[in-house]
Amino acid sequence: MNPYEAYMKEISQPMRDELTNAGFTELTTPEEVDEFIASTKGTSLVVINSVCGCAAGLARPAARESLTNDSKPDHLVTVFAGQDREATSRMREYLEGYEPSSPSMALLKDGQVLHFIPREEIEDYEVEEIVENLTSSYNQYC
């Protein structure tokens, strides 16, 4: 691992922990993504995590806070853009019709996208607005 990769791994670890400590499972390889999509039934929240400042600093807290809703997804997973590149690329293949966006969040059911929140609906929004966006989709689909 080169010094830059080591530095970025160290920098991103707390951002990973923020989601895994809230119950998200990290998918770090394309094979893990394929297995998840192929074998998971029910609803899933997918967070495409990112180190990029303001949007990522809103996305993670909003994703965590949304889980206090009465209705919530059956499964929670995350891939890390810019860190686990191959896994993120594979997950994006399953988010058909949506432009790559980091961070972003998708609510899936049986592998199909029901609701997608791109970076543009995260950046410059309040955490509460993002939580409302997520929980309204949970109330509709979960």
Contact status, residue 87 vs residue 32, Cβ threshold 8 Å? yes
- Prior bond of 103 cis (ω within 30°): yes
Tell me, rounded to whole angstroms, the distance of Cα 32 from its chain centroid.
15
CB count in 10 Å sphere of residue 119: 21
**Catalytic sites, residue numbers:** 52, 54
